[in-house]
Structure 1
């Protein structure tokens, strides 16, 4: 009988509440919606830099994108603003459903890991601050391969480190670009429909879609029931 897949979690917004950063953007830009524009550009430029074979740490891209958005709007970004951005990003709290779903998956026998664009030290601080770091067996960062998700080298690195085939892994994320990359790499994937995130009806599709992480966890448990 096949073993349970190893579960690999995205961190930013999948586990941690990105909306808690909105007050910082509202203070600087006068509108909390600027946070969504910032994050979308952060992801876009992380991918563009990867395609251009120019690796820059994720939080450094975040600071640069914040300055770029400010410059286009005629705002000045201070060093204190950049420090606040990094601090808020490193201390986002976990969503309430995370505190329910992770123990549920572990109790069902699943082994849990993370894979994020963040540096290991940023990720570790995030998860320690959220009180959930001990629920994961190992933390992975794109910094190991100097490519941001969804570059195939990122998923291949996790496979190599864990000594498993792609089909033995399942990514859980709330971003379609991430589940798309995982499925293209041969992984199973589950999409959590956080606010502002949903299925993209083209390209490789996730096998599971849930309204929150508890929903996804229950679907995963049901999907693999009977495996040991």
Structure 2
């Protein structure tokens, strides 16, 4: 009987609530820039740097994008503002259903991991602050390969480290670019419809789509019912 897939989670916005940063963003930008525009630009420029074969840590790109957006609006950010924003980013709480859903998956026999664009130390702080770090066997960072998701190298790195085939892995994320990359790499994938995120009607599609992590967990358990650990 085939084993359960190893589940690999994206972290930012998939597990942790990006919207909790909105009050800080509102204070700094006075409503002139939406936090989702900042995050979309952060992802876009991480991909642009990867395409240009240049690597900069994710939080540093995030700070640079903040300053760029502030400059477009004639807003001057102080160094203390950037430090506050980085601190808030590394202490975002998990969505309410996340701890219970992770435990449900683990109790069902699934092994849990993470793969994030963040540095290891940033995601470790995030997961520790959220009280969920102990639910994961290992946390992976794209910093080890110096390219950002959804580059194929990021998924291949996890495969090599865990010593498994692509078909033995499942990515859970709320970003279509992440599930697209995982499915293209031969992984199973599940997409969470977090606010502002949904499926893209072209390209490789996730096998599971859910409204929150508990919904996805229930679907995964049903999908792989009868499988056991080997």
TM-score (norm 1): 0.99
1:82 aligns with 2:85: no
The alpha carbon displacement at 1:207 in A equals 0.2
Equivalent residues of 1:22, 1:33 under 8 A apart: no
CA RMSD of aligned residues (A): 0.8
The alpha carbon displacement at 1:158 in A equals 0.1
Q: Give aligned pairs, total.
A: 228
CA distance in 2, matches of 1:2, 1:139: 24
Equivalent residues of 2:70, 2:77 under 8 A apart: yes
Match of 1:204 in 2: 204
Structure 1 residues 99 and 32 mapped into 2: Cα distance closer, same or farther (>3 Å)? farther
Equivalent residues of 2:101, 2:217 under 8 A apart: yes
Match of 2:134 in 1: 134
SS in 2 for 1:199: coil
Equivalent residues of 2:6, 2:110 under 8 A apart: yes
1:189 aligns with 2:189: yes
Query: Which string of whole-angstrom CA distances, capped at 9 and with x for unpartnered residues, describes residues 173-227 of structure 1?
Result: 0000000000000000000000000000000000000011000000000000000
CA distance in 2, matches of 1:12, 1:113: 14
Query: Which string of whole-angstrom CA distances, capped at 9 and with x for unpartnered residues, describes residues 52-91 of structure 1?
Result: 0000000000000000000011000110110011000000
Equivalent residues of 1:140, 1:158 under 8 A apart: yes
The alpha carbon displacement at 1:28 in A equals 1.1
Equivalent residues of 1:155, 1:185 under 8 A apart: yes
1:146 aligns with 2:146: yes
Gaps of 5+ in 2: none
SS in 1 for 2:93: coil
Match of 1:16 in 2: 16
Matches within 5 A, 1:115-126: 115-126=115-126
Gaps of 5+ in 1: none
State the 4+ residue runs in structure 1 displaced beyond 6 angstroms: none
CA distance in 2, matches of 1:30, 1:51: 33
SS in 2 for 1:96: coil
